[in-house]
């Protein structure tokens, strides 16, 4: 299991690298290239992605579970199928309230993740 | 139910607009803004997204089901958790072999979808 190459067309989930994260369960870098990246994150209740910002625009799609999301100080409880758009430099934080998975999309792609 | 606004932070799935597509079941435009868009598509067996290309880079993430994917003439059977990167102008086609859903990400966002 390893991180995909930039521009790799086919990224099979079984080949992706599960990375244990300091404040949540697991991150897997999925397909990426110019100009975007797809990342799968797994959370247990109480896990969080702490308050931060970055130059990359981000969309988070909730695959399962429930999350207390905070974007620029505005809170919302989001669940399966909901999506959240964060403009470049929007501060955001997420706290897991029911175990689940989210898909994070970044543009440009996260060079700091590879 | 309606399409979200460009740059809308919170997009609840229940508020999104299901659009019947000519060759597959349903498309829902989810969160989008500069420079990307997230779209959910639902397929039954035999449904297809016909051979086409566009200026937008695309990543497709398979949420459930199985699909015969063709990118620039190379075929692969992809399933749950797999992701596919398509560079700008890469020709692609997808045929559903087990019912399911995919998440399509585009950068730049699809102005032609809104």
The answer to whether A77 and A70 have CB atoms below 8 angstroms apart is no
Query: pTM (2 decimals)?
Result: 0.97
CB atoms within 10 A of CB A70: 15
Measured distance CA(A91)–CA(A76) in Å, rounded: 14
- pLDDT for the residue B76: 98
Nearest to B38 among A61, A71, A86 (CB): A61
B30 touches chain A (CB under 8 A): yes
Q: What is the pLDDT of residues B1-43, one digit of tens each?
A: 999 999 999 999 999 999 999 999 999 999 999 999 999 999 9
> Residue A28: which CATH number?
2.60.120.10
CA distance A92 to B78: 33
User: Does residue A54 belong to any structural domain of this protein?
Assistant: yes
Q: Over the stretch A67-90, which tens digit does the pLDDT of each residue have?
A: 999 999 999 999 999 999 999 999
CA-based torsion, B1, B3, B6, B11: positive or negative: positive
Tell me if B65 is assigned to some domain: yes
The question of ipTM being above 0.90 is answered as: yes
Please give the DSSP secondary-structure letter assigned to residue B13: G
Q: Which residue in A10, A80, A85 is closest to B33 by CB distance?
A: A85
Residue A63 placed within a domain: yes
Q: How far apart are CA B68 and CA A42, in angstroms?
A: 27
Q: How many domains does chain A have?
A: 1
Residue B11 lies in a domain: no
Phi then psi for B46, rounded to 5 degrees?
95, -20
Distance from CA of A6 to the nearest CA of B (A): 9
Contact B34 A57 (CB under 8 A): yes
d(CA A17, CA A4): 9
Residue A22, domain member (yes or no): yes
Q: Mean pLDDT, to the nearest integer, of A41-49?
A: 98
- Domain membership flag for residue B7: no
How far apart CA A93 and CA A111 sit, in angstroms, is 21
When CB atoms are compared, the residue of A61, A87, A107 closest to B103 is A61
Could you tell me the residue range of the domain that residue A29 belongs to? 13-113
| pLDDT given for residue A49 in this prediction | 96
């Amino acid at each position: 299991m390893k991180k995909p190459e930039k521009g790799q067309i086919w990224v099979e989930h079984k080949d992706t690298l599960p990375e244990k994260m300091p404040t949540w369960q697991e991150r897997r870098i999925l397909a990426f290239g110019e100009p975007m990246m797809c990342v799968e994150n797994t959370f247990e209740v109480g896990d969080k992605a702490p308050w931060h910002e970055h130059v990359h625009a981000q969309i988070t799609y909730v695959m399962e579970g429930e999350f207390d999301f905070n974007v620029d100080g505005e809170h919302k409880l989001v669940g399966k199928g909901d999506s959240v758009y964060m403009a470049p430099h929007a501060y955001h934080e997420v706290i897991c309230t029911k175990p689940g998975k989210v898909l994070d999309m970044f543009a440009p792609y996260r060079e700091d993740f590879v």
